[in-house]
Structure 1
Amino acid sequence: MNLLRHLLQIAAALKISVSLILQGHPRMLQHILLRLCCIFLSIVSINNTALANDTVNSVIKVSAEEAFLQGQQYLEQAKLPLAELNLTRIPRASPYAKLLAGNIAIQRSEFDRAFLLLLPLQSNQSLTKVAAASLHASLSVAYEKQGDIPNALDQLMRRETYLKDTSSINSNHGRIWQLLSSLSLQDLITMRGESADTTAQGWVDLCLATKNQDVISSINAWAASYPDHVAGDFSKTLITQLMAQKNTDQSKTTYTLPSNGSIALILPPDIDPLSPKANAFHDGLQAALNKYALLNVIKTYPSLGTEDSIAEQVSLAKSEGAVYFMTPLFHQTLNESTSDKNSITWQDDAMGSNSILQGADLSINDEAQTIAAFASSNAMQHITIIATNDDAANLMVKSFQAALENAPEANVRVITLAANIKSDDPNLLDLKTKISEQANDMILLATSATDARIIRPYLDISTPVLAFSNLNEIANDEALNSPLNAVRFVDIPFLINKNDEKFSDYRKSSSNISSNELLRYFALGADYLQLLIASTQLANGELIVNGLTGKLSIDKTGKIQRQLSMAKFTYNGIVQEQ
């Protein structure tokens, strides 16, 4: 409007100027020309001002992505007001506005608002890699603050796919490791069982490897199992750090005991000291002592099984020079108190206190948990249990049902047959019809090995069949096991990993034992010594022992959890499941 007014003024002045020239008024003409110059200068000034404003506007007007990046930079510099000011420069409908607003909410500890803003953006494909990395970093923080470490870790692993430079990737790895290291051994084992993502499994397994009794060998074994994992270089860094913490001669695990005092083996009342089970356990314990060149003597003490009776035998053993006390069970039970039962105790004279490990014995519950984990990881929800009507089978059924308590989606039914079933039993002919009444993702055999060999031919070969360790009855008898072809079962590593070099010494010592049941007690005796040694070396209260009976995890309270192996019967023998 000012420009138009000035132009009208110029036109009027020019008209008057022409008139004055014609009338001969030179002084008036001079005044008018001066006026025209002023108007012209005003027009120039207006044009320059407009140009300057256009230039400023061109600087202020930026894209939503650029405004987000500037705002995010302010957030990283803890300049929250400037980040909020930048938020006003982004159209509210833009995903970048929601992302920056969510990141600001994280800074303000407004996590509910952050989740509302950020979670929907995970499916947005328009975000740049930098923005997507920021999204997952913020969600990781939000989950961590809510105490949800598994989801916080998941977000960091997803974030890595958007990172380019080595520094950012290394920083992200450090953050992942910090979160993993904050978890207890039990939490790590649970997370490992629940995760189906190989990247997440690899990270958890690496963290578990660092808690192993032989940590460097365990990390090396991890690297062999995960040759292409994103944490490969990180694992090498861990080994370098561990080697730096120890002298080269001390980098290997030492298997020693603080005292040469005797080991008291206190037996339950139903186990005779000369029984095959007791002998197998004793032989395994002695084989482990020999392997590590330990001179401790084993002395056996029978008990009535009560606390008072065990205490009396412990007192007697102490008077006879015992320093270490083992109280193994030789039967499997669903009694929950078993896990709280003292298995290994030793007196620390220097500290004036006892060290106690609990729940070291073989348990049907450990087997059921392994089978349930296999079913869960393979999305097996419709399960049929074929059981025989006897106490052992009932124990298997109850243990498996208990293991599925945290899997409400599982649909389980039980078909019961007579124990010691005969091959001509008419119920076998009806079995396939009963099984087909519902879709089955898996069939579980809760029977004796003899009954399983009779039942197996009546089952659909295309449906996965699983079983407990009792089906692996006699060592190295492929002909006997041929009816069980393709049946998966759970058992201890010593009976599955036939060619594992670390078991070679024990195989020589147990070569005269043909029964797999007795070999399990032999392996348990050897593991009792490994657990005893581990209990004397616990630095941070948690440790994993690669035992003959499984991967044995000792938590901070001294309780032991056993991870077993899965294998499958084939016409060429037993093959371990990976």
Structure 2
Amino acid sequence: MMTNRNALSTITLLVVLTSLFSGCASINLDTHIAETPEQALSIAADENDPQRAQRYLLRTASNYQTKGDHTAARNILRHTLLKSTEGQLREQQRLLAMASAIELEDQEWAQELANTSKVEDFLQYPSDMLARAANLQAQTLALAGEPLDSAMTLILLAQTDSSTSPQNIHDRIWSQLKTVGNQELQTSNTKAIGFENQGWLELASTLRNTGGNLDAQGKLIRQWQNNWPGHPAAQTLPKELALMADISSSRPENIVLALPLNGPLASAGKAIRDGFIAAYYNDQSANRSKTDIRVVDTANQPFLDLYRKLSNGNTDLIVGPLEKTGLAELSEMNTLPVPVLGLNYLPNDHKAPNGLYQYGLSAEDEARQIAEQLAKDKVTRILALIPNGEWGDRVTTALTDKLEEIGVTALHVQRFFPEDNLRAITADVLGVTASRQRAIDVERTIGLNVEFEPRPRQDAEAIVMVAAPTIARQFKPLFAFYFAGNLPVYGPSITYEGVPNPSRDRDLNNVIFTDIPWVLAENDNPLRSDAEQYLSGTKGQLGRLFAMGADAWQLSKRLPLLQQVKDAAINGHTGTLTMAPSGAIHREQLWARFVNGSPEVLETKSPDALVPGE
């Protein structure tokens, strides 16, 4: 009897379990809340009515989005069970997919969505959802690298939804149009249909070929307004263009260039001075009759005293100092009566006063760019070699902080002095020293000699090598010596002397490094070509400082533009320049690879962008 009761209980349990998991007949899909995406997909797969299953999955994905779990939503929205949605279900799925793709910054998914969409698609949604659908569509297209279609979506939204803010939407339209590639813009301009589209595209095309002449840009903007008086953008200019038009007629005229012309920083100060003055004379928009540039020596005097003296005179802008200590003195003030474009950066524990802008050849900027490039190249674990000292400390902090932020692991950061045994340093960072020590420990344990060939650690995917050329030329062959020659090597600009030297730099072959356009794109730089004929100090490290001085001139005219327009940028000689809310200028440099001992610029995927001051 006991056996029969056990058998009956077992059968009863099986019946219950079967009723629970044999299908969705016992599950109300209109109210059921799945514990995981996998459970939702399993339940939907057992549903005989495809549309009922799809409605359940879309509701579940929406619930995950509400909780902020867009990864779970993506697992559902990209599943094959939702490939066949139609009508309203298709529209709902697309809206949810765009929202999660944007939140996750999933470019691949955004591109898939863009490939199956048209600019007018958002018009299919009800009036109360029109603006949301259009904004999601525009953001998705931008994420997919389709700025023109993104702009066209916003232009159409502005025509169909009167509740949108003209200033806001015009700013967004312009932020997309100015990044459209030159060829695509020209082609679209000739084929444009519709008053609004034609006006916007002509505005973008008109400003594309001004050569960065701010006066010319301001005049062309006003001329376009006169030619298109009834266009919405003529009545409400994008903020950036309105600011450009105003700045072109209100730039600083009395400028003091405050640099060290004596002492240990004299050569650097003179190189920056020469670059600043050369760029001024090369700038066709500069008003020679109004602009006055006065050069003063900051050596051997407290900069704060000099600043107070200069600010009491007829001065619109002070460019300098170069010395970090001089810049730190200004942090004692809350507001600067005369704006300062400092040619260095404040220490992290100093607060920037109002009116202080900071610009320089920041090693921290380069470290962060290296980290970002590693992520773009899908490198997840790295080793690093960085010099000892205060400069190396700053590079280490900037690199490791950025790596942590973007999810790249620094397995080991090895610090070194130039006079160290570089072979031992290389063995340490590659883990060969530890490998050898483990073999010695084994020999001691078993009392026998062990045949051993040291091998580097196998979990690293790349090496970040922060080293001057003379040191870098020794490190790179050592990587191969220790069987790590297959690891890609990334470096900052100090890896390259700035002048091609194939016979010496062959040891750096395949090293990927970042540097400024002045150095890497020398054949495309008219200012450099002209300066080399009449001036010394335009190459190598002094050349980088010369380029910094030239960009300081460009910045002097556009500081309000960079500060007030969020995505404004200048294509400068030292990189693409943008401004942080703190007033610090950040640079994005070019990338190159050593091939046969000479640097070859790596092409970027970004289009020819329209930026003020290009």
**Normalised TM-score (structure 2):** 0.59
Determine helix, strand or coil for the equivalent of 1:300.
Answer: strand
Q: What stretches of structure 1 of length at least 5 have no aligned partner?
A: 1-90, 183-190, 192-196, 348-353
Please tell me whether the aligned partners of residues 482 and 571 of structure 1 are also in contact (alpha carbons under 8 angstroms): yes
RMSD value, Cα: 5.3
Cα deviation, residue 489, structure 1: 1.1
User: Which among 546, 552, 565 is matched to residue 522 of structure 1?
Assistant: 546
Please tell me whether the aligned partners of residues 367 and 468 of structure 1 are also in contact (alpha carbons under 8 angstroms): yes
Q: Is 1:111 matched with 2:66? A: yes
Match runs of 1:38-437 below 5 Å? 94-100=49-55, 111-112=66-67, 120-125=76-81, 127-128=83-84, 130=86, 133-140=90-97, 143=100, 149=103, 157-163=111-117, 167-168=120-121, 178=135, 200-201=144-145, 203=147, 219-221=180-182, 223=184, 238-240=200-202, 242=204, 246-247=222-223, 256=248, 258=250, 261-267=253-259, 272=263, 275-293=266-284, 294=286, 295=288, 296-302=291-297, 310-329=303-322, 346=339, 356=355, 358-421=357-420, 433-434=432-433, 436-437=456-457
Structure 2 partner of 1:16: none
Q: What stretches of structure 2 of length at least 5 have no aligned partner?
A: 1-45, 152-170, 207-219, 228-240, 341-352, 434-454, 604-614
Q: Is 1:449 matched with 2:469? A: yes
2-structure distance, mates of 1:112, 1:573: 52
1-structure distance, mates of 2:375, 2:359: 26
Cα deviation, residue 240, structure 1: 3.1
Please tell me whether the aligned partners of residues 384 and 412 of structure 1 are also in contact (alpha carbons under 8 angstroms): yes
Cα deviation, residue 416, structure 1: 4.4
2-structure distance, mates of 1:344, 1:226: 48
Q: Deviations over 1:67-126 (max 9, x none)?
A: xxxxxxxxxxxxxxxxxxxxxxxx976442254467679999993599788852421256
| Alpha-carbon spacing, 1:112–1:199, altered in 2? closer, same or farther (3 Å) | closer
Please tell me whether the aligned partners of residues 98 and 136 of structure 2 are also in contact (alpha carbons under 8 angstroms): no
2-structure distance, mates of 1:539, 1:171: 39
1-structure distance, mates of 2:401, 2:148: 26
Cα deviation, residue 558, structure 1: 3.9
2-structure distance, mates of 1:98, 1:110: 18
Determine helix, strand or coil for the equivalent of 1:499.
Answer: helix
**Normalised TM-score (structure 1):** 0.62
Structure number with larger C-alpha Rg:
1
Amino acid of the structure 2 residue aligned with 1:453:
R
Deviates more, 1:250-259 or 1:370-379: 250-259
1-structure distance, mates of 2:132, 2:257: 46
Please tell me whether the aligned partners of residues 253 and 292 of structure 2 are also in contact (alpha carbons under 8 angstroms): yes
Q: Deviations over 1:468-507 (max 9, x none)?
A: 2111124233333222111111111211112224655665
Please tell me whether the aligned partners of residues 476 and 507 of structure 2 are also in contact (alpha carbons under 8 angstroms): yes
Structure 2 partner of 1:549: 574
Amino acid of the structure 2 residue aligned with 1:300:
V
Cα deviation, residue 220, structure 1: 3.9
Cα deviation, residue 286, structure 1: 0.8
Please tell me whether the aligned partners of residues 468 and 496 of structure 2 are also in contact (alpha carbons under 8 angstroms): no
| Alpha-carbon spacing, 1:504–1:152, altered in 2? closer, same or farther (3 Å) | same
Structure 1 partner of 2:36: none
Determine helix, strand or coil for the equivalent of 1:247.
Answer: helix
Determine helix, strand or coil for the equivalent of 2:379.
Answer: coil
1-structure distance, mates of 2:90, 2:527: 47
Determine helix, strand or coil for the equivalent of 1:520.
Answer: helix
Amino acid of the structure 1 residue aligned with 2:84:
T
Please tell me whether the aligned partners of residues 276 and 549 of structure 2 are also in contact (alpha carbons under 8 angstroms): yes
2-structure distance, mates of 1:250, 1:528: 33
Determine helix, strand or coil for the equivalent of 2:460.
Answer: coil
2-structure distance, mates of 1:302, 1:150: 51
Structure 2 partner of 1:63: none
Please tell me whether the aligned partners of residues 324 and 345 of structure 1 are also in contact (alpha carbons under 8 angstroms): yes
Please tell me whether the aligned partners of residues 326 and 343 of structure 1 are also in contact (alpha carbons under 8 angstroms): no
Please tell me whether the aligned partners of residues 538 and 546 of structure 2 are also in contact (alpha carbons under 8 angstroms): no
1-structure distance, mates of 2:254, 2:580: 26
Cα deviation, residue 281, structure 1: 0.8
Determine helix, strand or coil for the equivalent of 1:404.
Answer: helix
Please tell me whether the aligned partners of residues 73 and 100 of structure 2 are also in contact (alpha carbons under 8 angstroms): no
Determine helix, strand or coil for the equivalent of 1:517.
Answer: helix
Cα deviation, residue 169, structure 1: 7.7
Please tell me whether the aligned partners of residues 303 and 321 of structure 2 are also in contact (alpha carbons under 8 angstroms): no
Determine helix, strand or coil for the equivalent of 2:78.
Answer: helix
| Alpha-carbon spacing, 1:342–1:399, altered in 2? closer, same or farther (3 Å) | farther
Determine helix, strand or coil for the equivalent of 1:444.
Answer: strand
Determine helix, strand or coil for the equivalent of 2:295.
Answer: strand
Cα deviation, residue 331, structure 1: 6.7
Amino acid of the structure 2 residue aligned with 1:219:
V
| Alpha-carbon spacing, 1:402–1:212, altered in 2? closer, same or farther (3 Å) | farther
Structure 2 partner of 1:577: 602
Deviates more, 1:290-299 or 1:487-496: 290-299
Amino acid of the structure 2 residue aligned with 1:571:
N
| Alpha-carbon spacing, 1:483–1:168, altered in 2? closer, same or farther (3 Å) | same
2-structure distance, mates of 1:375, 1:109: 31
Determine helix, strand or coil for the equivalent of 2:523.
Answer: coil
Cα deviation, residue 561, structure 1: 2.4
Please tell me whether the aligned partners of residues 385 and 414 of structure 1 are also in contact (alpha carbons under 8 angstroms): yes
Amino acid of the structure 1 residue aligned with 2:52:
A
Amino acid of the structure 2 residue aligned with 1:258:
S
Structure 2 partner of 1:57: none
Determine helix, strand or coil for the equivalent of 1:383.
Answer: strand
| Alpha-carbon spacing, 1:479–1:320, altered in 2? closer, same or farther (3 Å) | farther
Please tell me whether the aligned partners of residues 385 and 466 of structure 2 are also in contact (alpha carbons under 8 angstroms): yes
Please tell me whether the aligned partners of residues 428 and 455 of structure 1 are also in contact (alpha carbons under 8 angstroms): yes
| Alpha-carbon spacing, 1:222–1:199, altered in 2? closer, same or farther (3 Å) | farther
